[in-house]
Each structure stands twice: as structure tokens, then as C-alpha cells.
């Protein structure tokens, strides 16, 4: 799997280091999301009802956190499935992967922003935009693989891979564009759309569909 240096493909990067590096980034993002949830300040530190009220006020932060956590898991899962089809990582693919990691590692900021300003349409739209950029990063990644099938495993069927790219390019981005638009109608609507995307990807039938496409 590892190509020898001095051959024409010698600027390849070892897949055995790109995968753990990416896994590290995903694991850290997923774990650090909770650190933006801060203990509420209480008038009376010993009062259970004060704390209950303080925790209830954090509700949008908890919802943002669960959505982001699950979204990063979905990204990680898609990353896993894509890398499973790859035999070589060239320089461009490395940077397209770095681009995906950039937007994934950015998610804690829009998550915190949406948690802090859950009534602000721009904060909610901003969250959707960050998600949109992450899903576009995936499309660019797939397009490069399509144009360079020598990076893919020999048993990958290009026609079905291409079909997978088309459906990936339409479904995710479309949902996020709708979510961004909804923010200007009502913020809760966007929350529902973002949560819907995640639920769609977590449920097995959706997964099975994605698999059929990518094979």
C-alpha cells in the first residue's frame, strides 16, 4: 500500500499517518465541544431550583452540542468509508483532507455561537454555513478522487462512485441551504432542519442508501 520513493508517485503521503492524524482531530473536536458549556452562575449556590433554572436556560446549548457531536461522528464515519476506498494520498488529496479538517475543527465556534445566541438568526445561519462548508469540502474531496481514479482501489466501480458524489453534492448542501434560509423565518425551524440531517444520516436505511451509492 505504501509506494516506494523515487517512483513517479513518490510525493504521496503515507495513509498510515493521514488516518490517525485525522482521527485525532475528529476525536478532539468531538470531546472539546462540551467545554463550551459553562456552569451557570447562581444567585444562591445551594438552591436546587436556582440551578434547575440555570440548567434549563442552557437547553439550546445542550441541543447545539448534541447536533454538533453527532455531525462530527457522521463526518468521521463518511471519512472512514471514503478512506477505505483509497490506496494512495497525493499532495492535492492531502490538502483537500486538511480543508475538511479545517472546517470540522471550526465547528466548536459556530456551535458555541448558536448556543449563546439561539434567538439570533445570523448565529443560526452561521452554524448552517459552517456545516455547508464542511459538506462542500467532502464534495471537493470526492471530485478529486473521481478525476484521479488511480488513487482508488481497483475494485471501486467509478460509475457508482460518481453517482454517490452527485447525491452527496445535492442532499447535504441543499439541506444546509434550506436550514440557513429558515433561520430568517424562525430559529427553531433551522434547529429542526440541522437535527433532521443528522437523524437522516444516523438511521441505518440512510446509511444503507449511502453505501449503495458509494460502492
Binding residues for a second copy (CB under 8 A): 5-6, 10-11, 13-14, 17, 19-21, 23-35, 37, 39, 42, 45-48, 51-52, 55, 66, 69-70, 73, 76-77, 80-81, 84, 91-92, 94-95, 98, 101-102, 105-106, 108-109, 112-113, 116-117, 119-123, 126, 155, 202, 204, 207-208, 211, 215
Q: What is the largest CA-CA distance in the chain?
A: 70
CA distance 92 to 89: 8
CA distance 180 to 108: 18
Q: Whole-number minimum distance, CB 134 to a second copy, in Å? A: 13
CA 120, chain centre distance (Å): 23
> Do the Cβ atoms of 33 and 65 come closer than 8 Å?
yes
Q: Whole-number minimum distance, CB 117 to a second copy, in Å? A: 5
Phi, psi values for residue 104, rounded to 5°: -70, -45
Burial of 173 (0-12, 13-18, 19+ CB in 10 A): middle
> Do the Cβ atoms of 130 and 82 come closer than 8 Å?
no
Closest Cα to residue 72, out of 186, 208, 189, 197? 197
Q: Whole-number minimum distance, CB 61 to a second copy, in Å? A: 10
Nearer to a second copy, 30 or 197 (CB): 30
CA distances from 36 to 32, 108, 110, 113, 116 (A): 8, 8, 11, 10, 10
Q: Whole-number minimum distance, CB 198 to a second copy, in Å? A: 11
Nearer to a second copy, 84 or 174 (CB): 84
Nearer to a second copy, 91 or 174 (CB): 91
Nearer to a second copy, 38 or 174 (CB): 38
CA-based angle 24:25:31, to the nearest 5?
90
Nearer to a second copy, 200 or 215 (CB): 215
Q: Whole-number minimum distance, CB 28 to a second copy, in Å? A: 4
Nearer to a second copy, 26 or 176 (CB): 26
CA distance 86 to 37: 37
Q: Whole-number minimum distance, CB 167 to a second copy, in Å? A: 16
Amino acid at each position: 500500500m505504501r509506494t516506494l520513493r523515487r517512483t513517479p508517485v513518490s510525493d504521496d503521503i503515507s495513509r498510515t499517518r493521514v488516518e490517525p492524524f485525522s482521527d485525532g482531530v475528529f476525536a478532539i473536536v468531538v470531546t472539546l465541544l462540551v467545554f463550551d458549556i459553562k456552569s451557570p452562575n447562581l444567585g444562591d449556590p445551594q438552591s436546587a431550583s436556582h440551578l434547575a433554572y440555570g440548567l434549563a436556560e442552557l437547553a439550546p446549548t445542550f441541543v447545539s452540542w448534541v447536533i454538533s457531536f453527532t455531525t462530527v461522528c457522521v463526518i468521521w464515519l463518511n471519512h472512514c468509508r471514503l478512506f477505505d476506498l483509497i490506496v494512495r494520498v497525493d499532495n492535492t488529496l492531502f490538502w483537500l483532507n486538511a480543508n475538511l479538517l479545517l472546517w470540522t475543527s471550526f465547528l466548536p465556534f459556530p456551535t458555541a455561537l448558536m448556543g449563546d445566541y439561539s434567538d439570533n438568526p445570523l448565529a443560526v445561519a452561521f452554524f448552517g454555513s459552517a456545516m455547508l462548508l464542511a459538506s462542500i469540502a467532502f464534495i471537493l474531496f470526492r471530485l478529486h478522487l473521481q478525476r484521479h481514479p488511480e488513487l482508488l482501489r481497483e475494485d471501486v466501480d467509478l460509475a457508482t462512485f460518481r453517482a454517490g458524489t452527485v447525491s452527496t453534492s445535492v442532499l447535504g448542501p441543499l439541506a444546509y441551504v434550506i436550514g440557513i434560509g429558515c433561520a430568517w423565518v424562525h430559529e427553531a425551524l433551522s434547529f429542526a432542519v440541522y437535527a433532521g440531517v443528522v437523524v437522516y444520516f444516523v438511521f441505518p436505511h440512510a446509511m444503507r442508501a449511502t453505501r449503495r451509492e458509494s460502492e
